[in-house]
Amino acid sequence: MNSKKYFEQVAQQWDAMRQSFFSENVREVAYATANVQAGKVAADIGAGTGFITEGLARKGLRVIAVDQSEAMLEAMKRKLKEFNVVDYRVGESERLPIEDETVDYVFANMYLHHVETPSEAIREMARVLSAGGKAVITDLDEHGFEFLKTEHHDRWMGFNREEIKQWFEKAGLRNVRVDCVGESCCAESGGGSESATVSIFVAFGEK
């Protein structure tokens, strides 16, 4: 099974799964890092069922939510039907369905470790940012838990923070920094034989 099929399959359970992995504090750190302002436009890449999108809509932003999985986006649409500020777009990391330099913020939570070429995914995120726009990625630090690849279809076993910083800078972003979110992602293997606790970083850069 590839990652797209995996997320199509878990779309209905994703919110419950997500709550067991990490808390709402992760998105609060992401919003604070970007210093989000009402009335602006944000893109949420690998948006899933709208963990990041929902908070942004509640804060008064318009959001372009992009995901490879129609099922994840459909689940978000049902959940966020009270909001008319979300534009749902099916799309892939290498070719985001967003025009150049059109958004004020770009967020991606727990997306990067699923994509084939993370440096390329970051370059695409930088492409869609307007001048002065801000990119914020929250994801896993490097870890050694193989079962996250086999059971959760992770492609990368987290990231080295220095490498993330270099990818941001190569994408043309400045004032780059990578900090701790102050929370870990926790998951148990299906058989219950192993449990993972992996720290989460927040990476920031400005166009």
Ligand X SMILES: C[S@@+](CC[C@H](N)C(=O)[O-])C[C@H]1O[C@@H](n2cnc3c(N)ncnc32)[C@H](O)[C@@H]1O
- Based on the shown chain and the rule CB under 6 A, indicate whether residue 118 belongs to the binding site for ligand X: no
Distance of alpha carbon 196 from alpha carbon 176, whole angstroms: 28
Q: What is the number of other CB atoms lying within 10 angstroms of the CB of residue 89?
A: 14
Residue 115 binds to ligand X (criterion: CB under 6 A): yes
The residue within the footprint of ligand X, chosen from 31, 51, 105, 168 (CB under 6 A), is 51
* CA 133 – CA 103 distance, rounded (Å): 7
Kindly calculate the radius of gyration of the chain based on its CA atoms and give it in whole angstroms: 16
Can you tell me the distance from the alpha carbon of 26 to that of 200, in angstroms, rounded to the nearest whole number? 8
Token pair 């998105």 is found at 27
Instruction: Using the rule CB under 6 A, give the single segment among 74-82, 97-105, 109-117, 129-137 that binds ligand X.
Output: 109-117
Q: Which residues contact residue 190 at a Cβ distance below 8 angstroms, ignoring those fewer than 6 apart?
A: 147, 151
Q: Give the residue closest to ligand X by C-beta.
A: 48
- The residue among 110 and 175 lying less far from ligand X, judged by its C-beta, is 110
Based on the shown chain and the rule CB under 6 A, indicate whether residue 18 belongs to the binding site for ligand X.
Answer: yes
Q: Does 143 bind ligand X (CB under 6 A)?
A: no
- CB of residue 174 vs ligand X: minimum separation in angstroms? 25
If one asks whether residue 7 binds ligand X (CB under 6 A), the answer comes out as: yes
111 near ligand X (CB under 6 A): yes
Contact 71, 47 (CB under 8 A): no
| Contacting residues toward ligand X, per CB under 6 A | 3, 7, 18, 46-48, 51-52, 67-69, 72, 92-93, 109-111, 114-115
